[in-house]
C-alpha cells in the first residue's frame, strides 16, 4: 500500500504523541485509516497468532452509543472515528493454518498446528482470552505510533463496559477488547509527557 501521508520516524512519533480528547469534525479517508491499520497488523505475536481484529466506528449514532458504554468519555463523541481493537481466540484457533508460515514443510506445519491447538485447547477460555488481550496491546502500541507518524492524534481507552461494547457491535462471545482508540486530527495540545527517566526503569545484569 503506498502512502499519501507524511511519515515521522518512530522516535519522533513517540516523542510527539500524547492523548488527545478533542478533534476536528472531519472524516478520515478509509485509505489513510487502512495505512495506519496496515502498520498495526505487522505487530509481532507469540506463535504469530495475530489475535487482533478491528472495528472502526464512524456513524454519529453508533459513536453516541459507544460513548454511553465508555463512561461518556468525550473523545468518543468528538473523534471522527473510534477503533475498537479486540482479540478473538475462537477465530484464531478455528483458522490456525492461516497463521502458520507458508515456508514450513508439511511436517513442520502439522507440528506447529498441534502445538498451538494443544496449548490453548487445554486452557480455560478466560485464560486464553486474557493471553490474547495481552498480545493485543502490542498491536495497540503499533497503532498509536503509526497514527502519530501519519499525522493523526489518538486517545487510547480502557475505561468502558466490555459487555456493552460487545453487544453494541455484535462481537463474538470470545472477544476481549484491550482498548478503544479515538483517532482524528486533534484540536488540543494534550499534556506534556510525564515519564520515568530511563535510569529509573533500567538496570544491567
Ligand atoms: C491501555 C490504555 C488505556 C487508557 N484508558 C484511558 C481512558 O479510558 N480514558 C482516558 O482519558 N485516558 C486513557 N488512557 C490514557 C492515559 O491516561 C495516558 O496515555 C497517560 O496518562 C499518558 O499520557 P499521554 O498519552 O498523553 O502521553 C489510557 C491509556 C492506555 C495506554
| Residues facing 85 on adjacent strands | 54, 179
pTM of the model: 0.96
pLDDT of 68 strictly over 50: yes
Contact of 82 with 180, CB cutoff 8 Å: yes
Residue whose Cα lies nearest atom 17 of ligand 1: it is 19
Cell of residue 147, nine digits: 497514527
Q: Take residue 87 and report the three cell numbers written for it.
A: 482479540
Give the Cα separation of 118 and 127 in Å (integer).
Answer: 14
> For residue 51, which of 137, 163, 135 has the smallest C-alpha distance?
135
Ligand 1 centroid distance, CA of 102 (Å): 38
What is the whole-number distance in angstroms between the Cα of residue 137 and the centre of ligand 1? Answer: 13
Q: What does the chain come to in residues?
A: 205
Task: Kindly state if the Cβ of 156 falls inside 6 Å of ligand 1.
Answer: yes
Is the C-beta atom of 73 inside 6 A of ligand 1? yes
Task: For 23-56, write each residue's pLDDT tens digit.
Answer: 999 999 999 999 999 999 999 999 999 999 999 9
- Rounded-to-integer distance, Cα 199 and Cα 28, Å: 39
Helix (H, G, I), strand (E, B) or coil at 53: strand
Determine the distance separating the centroid of ligand 1 and the alpha carbon of 112, expressed in angstroms. 37
CB 135 within 8 A of CB 87: yes
pLDDT of residue 52: 98
Atom number in ligand 1 closest to CA 18: 26
Nearest in space to 140 (alpha carbons), one of 39, 8, 21, 18: 39
Ligand 1 close to Cβ of residue 190 (< 6 A): yes
Tell me the three cell numbers of residue 52: 487482533
pLDDT in tens, 112-166: 999 999 999 999 999 999 999 999 999 999 999 999 999 999 999 999 999 999 9
pLDDT at 79: 98
Can you state the angle between helices 60-69 and 162-169, rounded to 10 degrees? 160
What is the distance in A from the centroid of ligand 1 to the CA of 13? 16
What is the reported pLDDT for 62?
98
pLDDT at 5: 62
Query: How many C-beta atoms lie closer than 10 Å to residue 123's C-beta?
Result: 13
Question: Is 75's pLDDT higher than 70?
Answer: yes
Cell 492524534 belongs to residue: 153
Q: In the chain, what are the domains?
A: 10-188 (3.40.109.10)
Cα of 44 vs centre of ligand 1, distance in Å, is 22
How far is residue 20's CA from residue 100's CA, in Å, rounded to a whole number? 38
Out of 77, 82, 155, mutate this one to test ligand 1's pocket (max ligand atoms within 8 Å of CB): namely 155
pLDDT given for residue 87 in this prediction? 98
Q: What is the mean pLDDT of residues 88-109?
A: 96
Looking at the predicted structure, is the pLDDT value of residue 199 above 70?
yes
Residue in the block written with cell 518512530: 10
Instruction: Describe the crossing of helices 125-149 and 30-40 by its angle, rounded to 10 degrees.
Output: 120
Q: Identify the pLDDT of residue 190.
A: 97
Amino acid at each position: 500500500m503506498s502512502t499519501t501521508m507524511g511519515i515521522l520516524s518512530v522516535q519522533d512519533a513517540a516523542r510527539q504523541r500524547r492523548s488527545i480528547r478533542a478533534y476536528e469534525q472531519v472524516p478520515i479517508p478509509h485509505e489513510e485509516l487502512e495505512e495506519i491499520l496496515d502498520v498495526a497488523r505487522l505487530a509481532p505475536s507469540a506463535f504469530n497468532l495475530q489475535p487482533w481484529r478491528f472495528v472502526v466506528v464512524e456513524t454519529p449514532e453508533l459513536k453516541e452509543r459507544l460513548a454511553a458504554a465508555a463512561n461518556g468519555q468525550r473523545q468518543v463523541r468528538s473523534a471522527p472515528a473510534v477503533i475498537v481493537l479486540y482479540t478473538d481466540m475462537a477465530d484464531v484457533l478455528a483458522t490456525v493454518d492461516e497463521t502458520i508460515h507458508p515456508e514450513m514443510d508439511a511436517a513442520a506445519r502439522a507440528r506447529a498446528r498441534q502445538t498451538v491447538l494443544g496449548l490453548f485447547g487445554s486452557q480455560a477460555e478466560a485464560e486464553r482470552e486474557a493471553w490474547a488481550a495481552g498480545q493485543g496491546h502490542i498491536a495497540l502500541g503499533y497503532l498509536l505510533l503509526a497514527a502519530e507518524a501519519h499525522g493523526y492524534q489518538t486517545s487510547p481507552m480502557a475505561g468502558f463496559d466490555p459487555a456493552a461494547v460487545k453487544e453494541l457491535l455484535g462481537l463474538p462471545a470470545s472477544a476481549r477488547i484491550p482498548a478503544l482508540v479515538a483517532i482524528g486530527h486533534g484540536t488540543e495540545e494534550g499534556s506534556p509527557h510525564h515519564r520515568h527517566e530511563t535510569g529509573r526503569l533500567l538496570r544491567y545484569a
